[in-house]
Amino acid sequence: LWTSGNVVLLLLRSMMTVRGWSRGPTASQIGKPAVHIASVDLKGKAYELLRQNSSSLLMEDIYKNPGPLQFQGPGADLKPISLCVEDRDYMGRIKQLQEYLEKVKNIVKPGCSQDVLKAALSSMAHVTELLTIMSSPSYSGQATI
């Protein structure tokens, strides 16, 4: 499995593409790569922890990972605190996954458009391939996602 800067290339391949249209007499459809957004859950455990400890975080230097990515130095192999807090809610994340799968089932059914079906098949193929690789005994956490 090839990685670039600790990003599994399979993930880059499954990036969403946003359709656009060029202007002018030879207008044609063009695609622009886009990354899926990750919103902050203002009712989530990580945000609640931040709110509870905001004064001590302001006055003390207790950051585990101050930057978005650290490739070397102390703390390079550590997860940010917000991810550690989210990891504690394992069953909540399983429930969230089941909700997403149910949404997919409700959207992709007989009568949906060809584009929706193609997008769902492509995405599910990439997700299945990635999860198969990650769950294999030889994987053992080779890349941080």
Q: pLDDT per position in the chain (145 positions), as tens? A: 444 555 455 555 555 555 555 556 555 555 566 666 677 778 888 788 888 888 887 777 665 555 556 567 766 677 766 677 777 778 888 998 999 999 999 999 999 999 999 999 999 999 999 889 888 888 765 554 4
C-alpha triplet 49, 50, 53: angle, nearest 5°: 85
Cβ(82)–Cβ(42) under 8 Å? no
DSSP string, 46-96: HHHHHHHTHHHHHHS---S--SS---SSTTTTSPPHHHHHHHT-HHHHHHH
pTM over 0.75: no
Determine the pLDDT at residue 113.
93
Tokens 């394992």, located at residue = 90
Determine the pLDDT at residue 53.
83
Domains of the chain, by residue range, sit at 42-88
Determine the pLDDT at residue 144.
47
